[in-house]
Structure 1
């Protein structure tokens, strides 16, 4: 049985900057949501959105809309796939790895809404559970500023 090389502990700055540009600027809907990357590791990613009036789903309670939660978790699941693909192909130049994301797309998404989305900001986390040659499976979390788990997600993404 051969040993598997563990993924790198960190990405190079060029890859991180390129991925942030794609995620935060080129995916325009992420700009609408105000979604920002806060951590980018090969095995786990994190992001954040600030609550703003445009994201309210229930006006009398100032709750974030469920569609915002779903969209953010979906985006974070995709970002986790990008990080895992980037780690898998560390032998390639950062620019070459960034081009691998053109075919990435959501196949299936499940969201569980556990508590009302009331907070001044929200932290999001995602990790890839399995990265196959064609499909990746992810788990995601949506937490309030106090760290309480508000929603969870599970997604499947086409990666080839």
Structure 2
């Protein structure tokens, strides 16, 4: 499992856009390369977490980070992987109307575990959240 090969972008996009939750979020594949992926989404009003509707729920950012980390590994393995652990640091809130970009990068891919880092930025390029995920590669 040491060689790195790109799973074709069409496969990555199909795997990303098939799950109903991903479609509901409006996830879009921007770019896929070996060990790296960029995924975008638009923040809708229905994703807000406060009564004023001024910020997007942190769980949405965590989901986007998790998916970006997972799909960085998908570019090498061709299958989605179960998340074992996800550590998220929130830096600033996402706002309704923001266009978010998540970049996931493989840190290490092993026979049983994979590690990936992810960062979410807004349309101004400001970092909103960062994460490190641990994924099970045993079944891949």
- Normalised to the residue count of structure 2, the TM-score between the two structures is 0.88
The separation in 1 between residues aligned to 2:127 and 2:109, in whole angstroms, is: 25
Residues 1:110 and 2:79 are matched in the alignment: no
Show structure 2 runs of 5+ residues with no match. Answer: none
What residue is the counterpart of 1:122 in the other structure? Answer: 100
What residue is the counterpart of 2:12 in the other structure? Answer: 19
What residue is the counterpart of 1:62 in the other structure? Answer: 54
Aligned length: 136
Residues 1:136 and 2:114 are matched in the alignment: yes
Matches within 5 A, 1:1-160: 7=4, 11=6, 15-25=8-18, 27-85=19-77, 98=78, 101=79, 104-118=81-95, 120-160=98-138
RMSD between superposed Cα atoms in Å: 1.8
- Normalised to the residue count of structure 1, the TM-score between the two structures is 0.78
Q: Higher helix share goes to which structure? A: 1
Q: Do the aligned residues in 1 keep the contact of 2:12 with 2:32 (CA within 8 Å)?
A: no
Task: Flag as ranges the 4+ runs of structure 1 deviating above 3 A.
Answer: none
Task: State the structure with more CA Rg.
Answer: 1
**Displacement after TM superposition at 1:56 (Å):** 1.1
